[in-house]
Structure 1
């Protein structure tokens, strides 16, 4: 069986055809999104990419999975919470299904990340019997996706896994979502950089802050802030869902200390004497979105 997936991103649209048995990538293409040209143009770009894949492969999809930068509201069918603002409030699912003329399954990029790592990433390599997997995105923002028995859990409001907009600490300040002190405002990369700047008046990227912590007291303070609140935030996932595996994606997830000192911080906050949840680095990198879309 051939699995077709499209990753609809802010700057690029990527498409893939996978062999479901071997998990081999048969065909893969990407084109620019060109979102500045408007919503109808983006829909046409998706159709253009599907046509390219058809012409290249000689195959035609019976159905297709599409990953988006936001979530579809179950009651209205409109896309929401999307940083590609031209997609917000649009019936993306219905319009793409009409344009492509085949059934379309859609999920947000964090869910696609979690599904890809569950099906063909770090989970089968390290925890092949895992039933519950939570995928974490920690980068410019904080998001998440939940997979149970190989299926994405979207939820009644279409926000399953959105741990980044739970309250963590008031010092995070206002969040774009309208609340204050969200997980995202405390441990997302730009907010850690902002915290460092507020303490010392210097602008420094997160990688440099982490690297300089042995010689820079404010960098050490910022690092300790990350470790402390990362442990608290991850512990809420474990306390509520108790997943077999948590996969940490995104740029902040590349910090090695999250899997050592960060894990110890998690252990201090969970409602148990030990932590049996495996916290893993992802295997698929930026390919996870399009692979997860195919597995929809």
Structure 2
């Protein structure tokens, strides 16, 4: 089982509320303390750090326990005299988030509980040539239902789902996913209109953004500014600055695959020429070489590279150089010192890193005195689907009172 991924950092004020919505704000205050605690915390400690009275703490804790957001985790000594006190921590039962991902070599589904622990992770090979969005999304819905069924016996309730797609997303509408051949696709509506509709609140986001969030949650406290580069059907980037994802003015930032690396280069599906994607995507690396049935594009590239195929090694060398050129421009503009290679690039990093680093060392202005770290992402190809699942429970972590209200309504009906 995948170890827990640390929760997002609590950001709202941790002062007791003394105005309207007092009950909700104090409940969220207590929950944030439990969420952010490095170890299980007692009621006495909660009263001390929040300034709330013991009866208020008792009432709030009982609500959180009844709503399956927290659980009692044995007894602890909290430095005070007397008997050990009952410790409280996040519950591994109750609400869960579902992540879904359309990536270069297939479809993935992931369920994450409130602690950030991955409870289910599944992958199914898939090809997209000559397939419409409705057909592909029907397979995604099947993956989602299988994931929900798989965790059904673990006392978990999937409350929302987030779909990661390789393209620009505008308020849930996939405006453009060139690698899939999709334009203006309402993925949520299609998922709800399948033969067996997926009856869940559904969000859709760019896969590189979701992967960057997954890496942010999984990384150390010192990793708060980085570029996550996702390679696969296309090439995208998630940019994190000071612990926050940069989306751009309209949410379409990070399209690294369409940064020009050769102005008079190959034509790109976006309508321009010489884009990074035309030199470093998995399909560009494969070229015209056919892939045997049942073999994923990533596996085909890896097999040929490991057999020292000179054509494949040359294509990987070219991809690494093109990637380094594009990254150098981004690093010079953003002043970021860490690059994480994810998606297919995580699998192919041993062939891409040397040339990418060489271009960065040559082209980044500050490279001589402030070297840039380029390495595979911690979560590898699963970063986007795990990030999607984590995003799906983020609203519960931020607004536990809303979840408790829904639980109360459902219990009453």
TM-score by length of 1: 0.73
CA distance in 1, matches of 2:134, 2:307: 45
| Structure with larger RCO (C-alpha < 8 A, sep 6+) | 1
Q: Is the 8 A contact 2:108 2:385 kept in 1?
A: yes
Tell me, yes or no, if structure 1 residue 162 matches structure 2 residue 162: no
Tell me, yes or no, if structure 1 residue 72 matches structure 2 residue 169: yes
Distance 1:24 1:235, change over 3 A: same
Distance 1:39 1:161, change over 3 A: closer
Partner residue in 1 for 2:230: 137
Q: Is the 8 A contact 2:345 2:376 kept in 1?
A: no
CA distance in 2, matches of 1:211, 1:220: 10
Partner residue in 2 for 1:198: none
Distance 1:94 1:160, change over 3 A: farther
Distance 1:248 1:275, change over 3 A: farther
Distance 1:190 1:70, change over 3 A: closer
Q: Is the 8 A contact 2:231 2:343 kept in 1?
A: yes
Q: Is the 8 A contact 2:280 2:323 kept in 1?
A: yes
Tell me, yes or no, if structure 1 residue 51 matches structure 2 residue 140: no
Q: Is the 8 A contact 2:98 2:161 kept in 1?
A: yes
Q: CA deviation at 1:48?
A: 3.9
How many residue pairs get matched? 277
Distance 1:42 1:278, change over 3 A: same
Partner residue in 2 for 1:178: 271
CA distance in 1, matches of 2:120, 2:325: 42
CA distance in 2, matches of 1:205, 1:171: 26
Partner residue in 1 for 2:110: 16
What is the aligned-residue RMSD (CA, Å)? Answer: 3.9
SS of 1:90 mapped into structure 2: strand
In the alignment, structure 1 segments of 5+ residues that lack a partner are 196-203
TM-score by length of 2: 0.55
In the alignment, structure 2 segments of 5+ residues that lack a partner are 1-94, 289-299, 392-413
Instruction: State how 1:227-246 maps to structure 2 within 5 Å.
Output: 228-246=321-339
- Output one character per residue of 1:162-195: Cα deviation in whole Å (capped at 9) or x when no partner: 1121211135321111111112223445546669
SS of 1:88 mapped into structure 2: strand
